[in-house]
Structure 1
Amino acid sequence: MEVFSHSDTLEDADSPLIPQYQAGDSLKLQIVNADSHVLPCTNTIIVDIENVITATMAPVMLVTIDTPRPTRAILKLYDRRFGSSLREDDRGKHVPCRLYLETEFHSFNEGPDGQAKYEAALWYHSQEYFNTELKAYNHLKDLQGIIIPRLYASVKLSPTGCPPTSGAHDIYCSVYSIIIEFIPRGTLWDLPKDGVYEINKRGIVLEDSGPRNVMVHPSTRTPYIIDLAQCTIKDDVFKVWEEFDLVEEGSTLERDWCEHARSTDNPASIDVVMRIMLEKTFGFTIDIEYPDCSKVLDDTKTVSETTSSFVSLPTSFPDRPDESV
Structure 2
Amino acid sequence: MSATRNDDESSPSSVSPYKVGRTLNVQLGQAGPVTSATISRIFESNLSCTMAVKIDSSSLNGQSVLKLYDRRFASRMRQHGKATAWNPDVEHQYRQFVQSGNGPSFFKFIRETDDEDLRYDYLDDWNDAQREAYLQHFCIHFYRTETEVYRRLHLVQGIDIPRLFASLWIPAISSESAAAGKEFLSCPGLLVEFLHGFPLSDIADFADRET
TM-score by length of 2: 0.71
**Which amino acid counterpart does residue 131 of structure 1 have in structure 2?**
R
**Structure 2: any 5+ residue segments left out of the alignment?**
6-12, 103-124
- Pairing 1:82–2:73 present: yes
| Residue 89 of structure 1: how far off its partner (Å) | 5.8
The alpha-carbon distance between structure 1 residues 44 and 101, as it changes in their structure 2 partners (threshold 3 A), is same
**Which amino acid counterpart does residue 170 of structure 2 have in structure 1?**
L
- Pairing 1:63–2:75 present: no
1:233 match: none
The alpha-carbon distance between structure 1 residues 144 and 75, as it changes in their structure 2 partners (threshold 3 A), is same
1:24 match: 21
The alpha-carbon distance between structure 1 residues 119 and 187, as it changes in their structure 2 partners (threshold 3 A), is closer
Q: What's the C-alpha RMSD, in Å, of the aligned pairs? A: 3.2
1:259 match: none
- Pairing 1:105–2:94 present: yes
1:172 to 156, 160, 184: 184
**Percent sequence identity over matched residues?**
26
CA distance in 1: counterparts of 2:36 and 2:143, whole angstroms: 21
| Residue 19 of structure 1: how far off its partner (Å) | 3.0
User: Is the 2:16–2:73 contact (alpha carbons within 8 Å) kept by the matching residues of 1?
Assistant: no
1:145 match: 158
1:183 match: 195
2:9 match: none
- Pairing 1:96–2:96 present: no
| Residue 72 of structure 1: how far off its partner (Å) | 1.2
The alpha-carbon distance between structure 1 residues 49 and 153, as it changes in their structure 2 partners (threshold 3 A), is same
Q: How many correspondences in the alignment?
A: 177
CA distance in 1: counterparts of 2:145 and 2:176, whole angstroms: 28
CA distance in 2: counterparts of 1:168 and 1:159, whole angstroms: 10
**Structure 1: any 5+ residue segments left out of the alignment?**
9-15, 35-41, 189-210, 215-269, 279-284, 289-325
User: Is the 2:140–2:183 contact (alpha carbons within 8 Å) kept by the matching residues of 1?
Assistant: no
CA distance in 2: counterparts of 1:87 and 1:149, whole angstroms: 27
| Residue 169 of structure 1: how far off its partner (Å) | 2.0
The alpha-carbon distance between structure 1 residues 116 and 187, as it changes in their structure 2 partners (threshold 3 A), is closer
User: Is the 2:65–2:191 contact (alpha carbons within 8 Å) kept by the matching residues of 1?
Assistant: yes
User: Is the 1:61–1:76 contact (alpha carbons within 8 Å) kept by the matching residues of 2?
Assistant: yes
Q: Secondary structure at the match of 2:65?
A: strand
- Larger fraction in helix: 2
The alpha-carbon distance between structure 1 residues 23 and 103, as it changes in their structure 2 partners (threshold 3 A), is same
Q: Secondary structure at the match of 1:54?
A: coil
The alpha-carbon distance between structure 1 residues 26 and 99, as it changes in their structure 2 partners (threshold 3 A), is same
Query: Which shifted more, 117-126 or 151-160?
Result: 151-160
CA distance in 1: counterparts of 2:64 and 2:160, whole angstroms: 17
User: Is the 1:28–1:46 contact (alpha carbons within 8 Å) kept by the matching residues of 2?
Assistant: yes
Q: Secondary structure at the match of 1:118?
A: helix
1:46 match: 36
Higher relative contact order (CA 8 A, sep 6+): 2
2:148 to 128, 135, 138: 135
CA distance in 2: counterparts of 1:138 and 1:51, whole angstroms: 27
**Which amino acid counterpart does residue 51 of structure 2 have in structure 1?**
M
| Residue 182 of structure 1: how far off its partner (Å) | 0.7
The alpha-carbon distance between structure 1 residues 54 and 163, as it changes in their structure 2 partners (threshold 3 A), is farther
**Which amino acid counterpart does residue 62 of structure 2 have in structure 1?**
T
CA distance in 1: counterparts of 2:34 and 2:73, whole angstroms: 23
CA distance in 2: counterparts of 1:187 and 1:89, whole angstroms: 26
Q: Secondary structure at the match of 1:29?
A: strand
> In the TM superposition, what whole-angstrom CA distance separates every residue of 1:51-95 from its partner, at most 9, and x where no partner exists?
1112111100000011347431000000000122111166x6x72
Q: Secondary structure at the match of 1:164?
A: helix
**Which amino acid counterpart does residue 40 of structure 2 have in structure 1?**
E
